[in-house]
Amino acid sequence: MKAAWSFCAMEALWSLYEPLSPWGRDERERRIVFTDIDTISARHDDVDRAIAWLGSVDALTRDRMSWHLKRMPRIPVEAKSEYEISELFQLKKFLANYKGVRAALDASTAQAFGFADAGSALARELDRGGSDAETFFLADAYDENLASCRAKIAACMERERAEHARAEAQARLEKGLSFDGREFLLVDKSRAPSELADAALYMLEPYDDTRYLVRLRPSALAMAIAEEKRALFEQEREAENRVVQKLSILVASAMAELMQAMHAITRWDLARAAAVLALRYAMVRPVLSSDSLVIESGRYLPCMQDCERLGLSYAPLSASFDEPAVVLFGSNMGGKTVVLKTVLFFQIAAQAGLFVPAAVFASRVYASILYVGEQMGEILSGLSGFGSEVWRLQAALESGGSSLVAYDELARTTGSHEAEALLSAVVEHYASAASGRNCVALFATHFRGIARVHGAQYLRMMGLDRDAARQAISTGLPLEARLSGINRHMRYSLAPDDGTALESSDALAVASMLGLNEEIVTSARKHISGS
């Protein structure tokens, strides 16, 4: 699957698929391609529901939905005897945004995705700890002892500040020392310790060769207040622990509901993201119960975007592949590799639970989706090119179960005679045996000598409209302009191939249009025709 994913540039679509919740993003990162038809159908049903919802609400409601999904925090996913205050805050925030998502959905959609009352008693208690969803603290309202204890602590702190201010004023009056809220002063040794000998008021420490560090010594009253405050802080801590324990019991009892809520959010988030993608690119729901693989007006997005960027026209693909082995002929610039990429792109998207950018896409579910061919940036690890091809071919043949396999220029690394023989044998293998294994293999090749066997379908790219291309290209144009003109007149559509078409005629026509010596082109045509 990894090779097929890379070959068809599935990341180009995946980067546009944007779940917003943490759990939706987690699943997106797993890049799951499903193989169970019921699971895939359920995903597609969800996307249909999400499309209907998006079409029934205004922009403000859609924006509010996105806002709530983005604000979803991660929450603890197992019951614990005691939760951290930060975890309680995350739970409060989750429940508030869950409520917002649920409120934005109509009753039918909410029920379909499993939205239900979740942790209402817990939510009410957590709401006491802050004025909105973005704040949480252990408020006085949670425990009658908290308010009294905290009031006493505040009174102690006020008395403590007053006593410290009195000591600072005394130091300023008697010794001319201005602490002004500072913890210490640096005093020249010439003044100390003789002038600061009153041990009841000051503490002296040597600082360097010329200065002393002077602090105010706490008075008896200040020490009594500090002791009282320490006792009150302990009482506050005990009261807060009681609150946390009570809230933790509520969380544990609501954990099943919280997990169901998280599941509903994830399911809805994925469906909404897929629906947004489907509406943006006019995608349709795949039909995955077809004996044939059918594409009507299929738009391979990576290629379409490249064409738009280069100012070239893009031709959507329409094709029907009706046999277990399909051979695609065409010149090296005729688009047959793009056909393979389009098929794998649509199949992977469909089995990942997404819709596809086409008017129609009909196929079936495959246990494996494979690509055999050259891979970007590959390292052959000591194998020859042909040895690597054979190894990949054998791995595809041994994949087991149903499979959709795209072979791009199989046996390209060996001589043409041996390549045609090997490719013919592999086509025959799929044509004769694949029907029992529910496999489909597509072969893109420029070799014309492939054997014609029962159970195989032979198609060719329509290729270059040579008359139109010649009219568009003048001999004085630079190379870039000629290439652009040729590209604009390539016909990226398929037609049945009866074995009489001469694939290389496109190549020779292109060579002629690019200015190759006509004697050589004419001689090449004679060699093709055998004359």
Q: What CATH number has the domain bearing residue 451? A: 3.40.50.300
In degrees and rounded to multiples of 5, residue 161 shows phi and psi of -65, -40
- Quote the strand ranges of 118-275, DSSP E: 185-188, 202-206, 211-216
Percentage of residues of the chain with pLDDT beyond 70: 84
Q: Which domain holds residue 384?
A: 309-529
Spatial distance between the Cα atoms of 278 and 51, rounded to a whole number of angstroms: 8
pLDDT at 379 over 50: no
Number of structural domains (the chain) is 2
Most confident of 305-309, 418-422, 464-468: 418-422
Q: Is residue 201 domain-shared with residue 319, that is, in the same domain?
A: no
Tell me what pLDDT residue 442 has: 94
Give domain status of residue 84, yes or no: no
pLDDT confidence band for 382 (50 / 70 / 90): very low
Residues 360 and 462 in one domain: yes
**Mean pLDDT of the chain, nearest integer:** 85
Distance CA 55, CA 509 (A): 51
pLDDT at residue 507, as a whole number: 66
| 23-39 pLDDT tens trace | 999 999 999 999 999 99
421-456 confidence digits (pLDDT tens) = 888 989 998 888 655 567 899 999 888 888 898 889
Name the domain boundary from 169, 196, 221.
221
CB 241 within 8 A of CB 210: no
**Which of these ranges, 27-41, 179-193, 311-325, 474-488, has the smallest mean pLDDT?**
474-488
In a domain, 240, yes or no: no
CB 406 within 8 A of CB 371: yes
438, two tokens: 């529910």
pLDDT in tens, 56-93: 999 999 999 999 999 999 999 888 889 999 999 999 99
CA–CA separation, 164 vs 77, rounded Å?
Answer: 49
* % the chain with pLDDT above 90: 47
Domain C-terminal end among 173, 204, 221: 221
Residue 161 lies in a domain: yes
Rg, Å, the chain Cα set:
38
User: Count of alpha carbons within 13 Å of 252, Cβ hemisphere only?
Assistant: 11
